[in-house]
């Protein structure tokens, strides 16, 4: 059972990395992180706080769109292409198939989120040039340039010599080189000196990225559940609708939950994505305790398990032949 689960999850992970929309969203997010310090330098308020909020917003949307688009076709496309008949005839139990699909897409979403988080930390480390006397952080710029160039050259080499797909190879290599890059920046300051105390990496930003990953995992589970029963169009529409409702859950359901039954039901069924967004903590300058991260993780785990249970139930009655 474990071997089947791992094999399907691995194949789903590779297929997700090879989807054009996956690479397009990651590249678009990285470009936004690149220009975000320039976009936030003309505000009348605290530019650093705005840089953090724009960066976290970009990270949030990138991870959620990857989750929705990738997971929507994870089951529905295999049913439409009839490839699922071959898989289930191995035999592979239907619950194993659904759970493996979830883990495969979730791993791909986590990889993209990890790469974008490192880009966000680099952008925040560089900061906003508030005056003409401020200078660019060439340590960050040089590190990011080395990471990108090394990824491009090695991906082109592997594509030419071994015929590996360029986009998926580049994503994996980017994750590896970006790790080396952020570790280097953790110890080296803007003056190229060993100074971990002045590395510009804030725990608040890391916690914010972790919370947003939890929200993306919830959306993966929802997309897999809908695709187990409906086609891609319905799945995408439902996921986008739930995503928008989740962002305004407290306003839509919370204020009526004590008096209206529909609000109570809606508050239980629709994930409250607002708890994963720490914009208030950024602008108020307050800390996000580790306890809050653990509570958010518990909420995401319970919701994800419940949605996957529904996905298995939906798929048990789905006609695939």
Model pLDDT, residue 300:
94
pLDDT at 321 over 60: no
Per-residue pLDDT at 78: 73
Centroid of chain to Cα 87: 28
Instruction: Give the bridge partners for 135, in sequence order.
Output: none
- Separation of alpha carbons 66 and 76, rounded Å: 16
Name, in order, each residue with C-beta under 8 angstroms of 109's C-beta and a sequence gap of 6 or more.
63, 66, 67, 70, 213, 216, 217, 220
**Interatomic CA distance for residues 119 and 19, integer angstroms:** 21
Considering the entire predicted model, what is its pTM?
A: 0.92
Query: Looking at the predicted structure, is the pLDDT value of residue 42 above 80?
Result: no
Whole-number pLDDT of residue 191: 85
Report whether pLDDT(303) > 90.
yes
Percent of the chain with pLDDT over 70: 90
Q: How confident is the model at residue 3 (pLDDT cuts 50, 70, 90)?
A: confident
| 3 state DSSP class of 238 | helix
């Amino acid at each position: 059972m474990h071997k089947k689960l791992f094999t399907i999850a691995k194949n789903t992970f590779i297929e997700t990395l090879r989807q054009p929309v996956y690479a397009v969203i990651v590249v678009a997010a990285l470009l936004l992180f690149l220009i975000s310090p320039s976009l936030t330098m003309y505000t009348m308020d605290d530019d650093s706080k705005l840089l953090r909020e724009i960066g976290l917003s970009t990270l949030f949307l990138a991870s959620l769109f990857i989750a929705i688009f990738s997971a929507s076709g994870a089951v529905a496309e295999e049913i439409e292409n009839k490839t699922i008949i071959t898989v289930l005839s191995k035999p592979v139990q239907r619950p194993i198939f659904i759970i493996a699909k979830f883990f495969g897409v979730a791993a791909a979403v986590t990889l993209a989120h990890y790469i974008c988080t490192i880009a966000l930390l680099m952008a925040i480390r560089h900061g906003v040039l508030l005056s003409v006397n401020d200078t660019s952080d060439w340590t960050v710029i040089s590190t990011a340039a080395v990471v990108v160039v090394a990824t491009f050259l090695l991906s082109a080499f592997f594509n030419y010599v071994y015929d590996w797909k360029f986009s998926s190879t580049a994503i994996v290599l980017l994750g590896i080189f970006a790790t080396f890059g952020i570790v280097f920046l953790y110890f080296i300051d803007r003056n190229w000196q060993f100074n971990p105390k002045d590395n510009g990496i804030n725990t608040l930003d890391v916690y914010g990225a972790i919370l947003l990953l939890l929200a993306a995992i919830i959306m993966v589970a929802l997309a897999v559940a809908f695709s187990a029963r409906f086609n891609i169009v319905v799945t995408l529409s439902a996921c986008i609708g739930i995503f928008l409702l989740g962002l305004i859950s407290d306003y839509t359901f919370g204020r009526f939950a004590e008096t209206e039954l529909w609000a109570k039901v809606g508050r239980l069924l629709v994930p409250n994505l607002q708890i994963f967004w720490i914009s208030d903590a950024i602008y108020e300058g307050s800390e996000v305790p580790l306890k809050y991260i653990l509570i958010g993780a518990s909420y995401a785990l319970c919701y994800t398990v419940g949605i996957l249970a529904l996905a298995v139930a939906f798929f048990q009655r789905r006609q695939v032949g």
